Structure 1
């Protein structure tokens, strides 16, 4: 194996200027931390032109080279396929969280390959995305906002890395001068798959399941969709400015683009140490400083939100326990209030030490999808979600991020996530329903979470509807 490559680049506070030089490349991806004041908001990672792609659609997983030739077409467990093609481990580069590996998304519906779940027909006029889309990348640009450094790193596993190395150094050394980017413009009415009456009906069904003892909590989501025209990269640049998030991402895949504005870390793995930070509990930001402080305090004091949060903490403790050393799983932080552009969130932290013989792929498989977006118990909650939600979740509530050749991993929970495909933009918003929930409050919470995305296109849905 060739030694790792590393070249320093000029530091730019705004990594979108670096990505401008890259975003038209095949499978271009930006893992974006625009909210540096919160945990996780330190590194930006940019890469493109993978030497292999791993795509799961239904029961099939295909591995292709960059010329499009199929190297493997299998019904094998997609996580095992990924492990195989990540290949032998590379030593880490000190101070660099990612120096090559798999980057992309694991869609929520990939869970159907992991658990015995019903697969119900969904009414849908869209071409759904694959359940998993990953590129294997030999190089990346890594921006460290804490140290104010920027480096180009490569592993030498792909011959093309060396061939394009000087080109990449020159391209990223110049960046851009903040060019004007056209975004997306709505060209038709907003469509929502669960209006107030439909949402209320499904809310009541969740309550019935809870009363019957089937579950304690179910995350019920609504999908928003509108016809648009323009450039999704320009729209993402507006979104990241309007609503900074520590775990954002932009990902161009064939025929579509994914715009992710996630505040939630799913799984972080470094030197065997695992961290997950579930969010459960939301309040909107206030219009004045005093109103904002009052809403934040109300969230901190809410017995209902704390109860919801601790349910998910317990679920994640259980999931981490499948692959972590006995006695290593701990909860260092419970119920911390973190504030974002449009909402306050209640966030906890769960940690563990990976057991000998386990790796990042096993960790992701054991915990997927994140419990904060399913409910508890997880499997029964997912069965109810499949029954009640009219459309597939696709990328939404899955995970986006990286698994490095060195064994490190960082992924988000893909909430606040939009898909641009075929001239249409779709996105989702949901919340956890428990026995103490009120349908109107939960309905409003979906609008609070969708606020930045709705505002981005100047499309509105009435915040309060009554039957």
Structure 2
């Protein structure tokens, strides 16, 4: 199947296009809102999917069979854009139970399912490096069977919608009212101390503990997204507005990129964080402190080893490499240490095998992964849901692009869940670890008119 691909003007851009398409069912925006020369090169927008898959870890084999019906409907190609239609959505952290039986924390409305994937027969794609835009229309039905006439009609529909006036910009902001925290400072620091005991006892080397803050807000999800985008532009920004749950994300972390044509996989674990400072000298000092921190570098290297081990399960062992180790990356609100791990899938493996071998990401679980996840289920009082899962796409050609769902808030009705966490090692200081969660949550809470 060869999709219909029509180039259209680069403007008005992803957000304005989203506003013109937002009245359609299940609109989605995956936006490269920063770093156009690298991870933020591509943005995608779509709506009106032709099928919906509500995920349940207990039924993952059935879900896989459904997904594989549609994969490889397009021949893998190096042509742009890399995603021309397929599944868009989110995978919840607790979906990890599908791959390794693990205990999980109690669920609530923010984690009622293990994720959702929607099958999109068309997508708008922007290349921010080349400043180009395309309508890609596959013409597929829910079984992946393509029809060229349908593809042409759907592409024309999208072109007409882009000519419409956008929906009015969200106006009027409320002050987010905190309702509940899973941890106060004392209980979070006690949980950090307990994790340090596990490390000292040899159970784990590191684990990524998190807390959740639930707030009440009357704000429109698009308004929240735009505010967060201005405060913390990210290479993997996302807005998914669905009836049961909306997600707003400013993730800086690439979980997986798979090019089906070459089989090349890339993961970019983020470990090590310092806040930005308004004073330039102080900002440089914080960045230097991070790049020279033995604790943060050790934490990053541990997770790199975990990612390498996960990839070895489905990749050619000789292909697994670490071209970048502990690079300092600076974002609008924080500094991070980032590494890059690459590999080539072994023959007979596909995107779903890769997902089973690596999900959830090592950077938000710990090492060893399974033991760390079991301990986190003991110390975190509620399920994570979308947080620390993944957001992104799986293409009809078998390619895949997923972010780690950090810096992500879930909106259920008028309630918003904001999570933040950090890696705990033997060298962790409980007070510093609690402060790190506030630093990471600051931009999200500010977008809700609240303070940490």
In which range does the TM-score fall when normalised by the shorter chain? over 0.9
Could you say which residue in structure 2 is the equivalent of 1:71?
Answer: none
Q: Distance in 2 between matches of 1:460 and 1:186?
A: 10
The aligned runs of 1:36-435 (5 Å cut-off) are 36=35, 39-57=38-56, 59-60=58-59, 76-86=61-71, 88-92=73-77, 94-121=79-106, 124=108, 126=109, 128-158=111-141, 161-173=151-163, 176=166, 179-182=168-171, 185-186=174-175, 188-270=177-259, 271-435=262-426
Q: Aligned equivalents of 1:389 and 1:219: distance in 2?
A: 11
Local SS of the residue matching 1:41:
helix
- TM-aligned CA distance change 1:7 to 1:280, over 3 Å: same
- For the 8 Å contact 1:42–1:145, the answer to whether it is kept is yes
Once residues 174 and 115 of structure 1 are traced to their aligned partners in structure 2, the CA distance between those partners, rounded to angstroms, is 48
SS in structure 2 opposite 1:189? strand
Conserved in 2, the CA contact under 8 Å of 1:86 and 1:136? no
What root-mean-square deviation, in Å, do the aligned CA atoms of Structure 1 and Structure 2 show? 1.9
* Structure 1 residues 362 and 175: CA distance shift in structure 2, 3 A: farther
Q: TM-score, normalised by structure 2?
A: 0.93
Higher helix share: 2
Name the CA distance, whole Å, in 2 between partners of 1:17 and 1:188.
29
Contact 2:111–2:386 under 8 Å retained in 1: no
Which runs of no fewer than 5 residues in structure 1 stay unpaired? Answer: 61-74, 462-467
Give the stretch that moved more between structures: 428-437 or 204-213: 204-213
- Is the 2:14–2:126 contact (alpha carbons within 8 Å) kept by the matching residues of 1? yes
Whole-angstrom CA distance in 1 between matches of 2:437 and 2:237:
19
TM-score by length of 1: 0.91
Output the CA distance in 2 between the equivalents of 1:444 and 1:283: 10
Confirm or deny: 8 A CA contact 1:285 1:292 kept in the other structure.
yes
- Structure 1 residue runs of 4 or more that deviate by more than 4 Å after TM superposition: 173-176
Query: Mind listing any 5+ residue stretches in structure 2 that lack a counterpart?
Result: 142-146
C-alpha distance 413-294 of structure 1, shift in aligned 2 (>3 A): same
Alpha-carbon distance change, 37 to 143 in structure 1, aligned in 2, over 3 angstroms: closer
